[in-house]
Amino acid sequence: MSWTSAQQTQPGHAGEYGRPQTRETAVRALGVQKVYGRGENQVAALRGVDVSFEKGAFTAIMGPSGSGKSTLMHVLAGLDTVSAGKVFLGDTELTSLNDAKLTRLRRDRIGFVFQAFNLIPALNAKANIELPLTLARRSPDQQWYDDIVQRLGLTQRLTHRPSELSGGQQQRVAIARALLPRPDVVFADEPTGNLDSTAGAEVLSMLRASVRETGQTVVMVTHDPVAASYADRVVLLADGAIAGELFSPTTDSVLDALRHLGG
């Protein structure tokens, strides 16, 4: 299936992904706690979270405001420390790494897609896509690079700077940048938050297709039930704890689950 045809797949109907068969784990949290502040100002953002994310799957993390979903993503991605518990990327324990090793791991094995795109204004699309490898002093796999650029429809946009691209095009550049190093996991934090519905659907379809066609693992935080319906699975959080999960989610099933959580 091409990325173009994959975009026609109706979200919420994942076929063999209805309830995923047991696959290898890409990232997992064991008894993770995250506490901010001290004394009377102490706030528990995560309360003993145990959760696993399978390789080659697209998982959305959802919950009411303040449920801990962004905090969970940040500790899973090694962007924040834990107060207790452990986080593993494959067989590597992130929570045991020093800052230098953690920085290298994020650079080499984790991709990021953010709501604000986080592109460098002075660089054109090509340079932005290649930036992680440039910083690592590595050359891209040209065939893989060409494949990503073509699939994301960026071939004619490589010489354009971010200011010359639409929001949807900028997010495609960010996705290409995240995919180029072939990371173990791509973490997407509200990737459609700054996009209109049409551009947002295109970006979600591309993330979905990257999972289907290249075996990429994607973990996405979102507040949008429509966005979550593109995932294979939705992990629900409430008050810093796992509150349930949905497989082959639809917009309606996500909305219903969130209503029960008070989201």
* Residue 38 is assigned to a structural domain of this protein: no
65 vs 119: which has the higher pLDDT: 119
* Residue 26 is assigned to a structural domain of this protein: no
* Residue 19 is assigned to a structural domain of this protein: no
pLDDT(94) > 50: yes
Cβ pair 248, 13 in contact under 8 A? yes
pLDDT(261) > 90: no
* Residue 112 is assigned to a structural domain of this protein: yes
**How would residue 22 be classed by pLDDT, with cut points 50, 70 and 90?**
low
Give residue 263's pLDDT. Answer: 52
* Residue 44 is assigned to a structural domain of this protein: no
22 vs 154: which has the higher pLDDT: 154
Give residue 226's pLDDT. Answer: 96
* Residue 88 is assigned to a structural domain of this protein: no
What average pLDDT does range 136-152 have in this prediction?
A: 91
**How would residue 8 be classed by pLDDT, with cut points 50, 70 and 90?**
very low
- What own/partner pairs with CB < 8 Å and gap ≥ 24 does 41-49 have? 44/240, 45/71, 45/240, 46/71, 46/72, 46/75, 46/82, 46/240, 46/241, 47/239, 47/240, 47/241, 48/85, 48/241, 49/85, 49/237, 49/240, 49/241, 49/242
Q: Residue 110 corresponds to which tokens in the numbers above?
A: 């984790």
By the 10 Å C-beta count (0-12 exposed, 13-18 middle, 19+ buried), 105 is classed as middle
pLDDT(2) > 60: no
Q: Can you spell out the DSSP letters for 7-44?
A: TTSPTT--GGGSSPPP--EEEEEEEEEEEES-GGG-EE
Give the C-alpha separation, 46 to 22, whole Å: 26
Q: Residue 113 corresponds to which tokens in the numbers above?
A: 């897609």
CATH number of domain containing 112: 3.40.50.300
What average pLDDT does range 24-42 have in this prediction?
A: 93
Give the C-alpha separation, 116 to 260, whole Å: 30
Q: What percent of the chain has pLDDT over 90?
A: 79
Please enumerate in sequence order all residues whose Cβ is within 8 A of that of 218, keeping only pairs 6 or more positions apart, or say none: 57, 58, 59, 185, 186, 187, 188, 207, 210, 211
Give residue 118's pLDDT. Answer: 93
Give residue 251's pLDDT. Answer: 96
pLDDT(204) > 70: yes
Q: Which of 146, 156, 88 is nearest to 125 (CA)?
A: 156
Give the C-alpha separation, 44 to 42, whole Å: 7
What average pLDDT does range 87-104 have in this prediction?
A: 95
Give residue 212's pLDDT. Answer: 92
Give the C-alpha separation, 58 to 197, whole Å: 20
pLDDT tens by residue, 42-84: 999 999 999 999 999 999 999 998 999 999 999 999 999 999 9
Look at the chain and report how many structural domains it folds into: 1
Give the C-alpha separation, 177 to 175, whole Å: 5
Q: What percent of the chain has pLDDT over 70?
A: 91
* Residue 203 is assigned to a structural domain of this protein: yes
214: Cα separation from own chain's centroid: 15
The mean of the pLDDT values for the chain is 89
* Residue 20 is assigned to a structural domain of this protein: no
What average pLDDT does range 160-184 have in this prediction?
A: 95
Q: Residue 251 corresponds to which tokens in the numbers above?
A: 């917009």
pLDDT(200) > 60: yes
Give residue 40's pLDDT. Answer: 83
Domain that holds residue 67: 56-81+94-261
Helix 142-151 crosses helix 125-135 at what angle (to 10 degrees)? 140
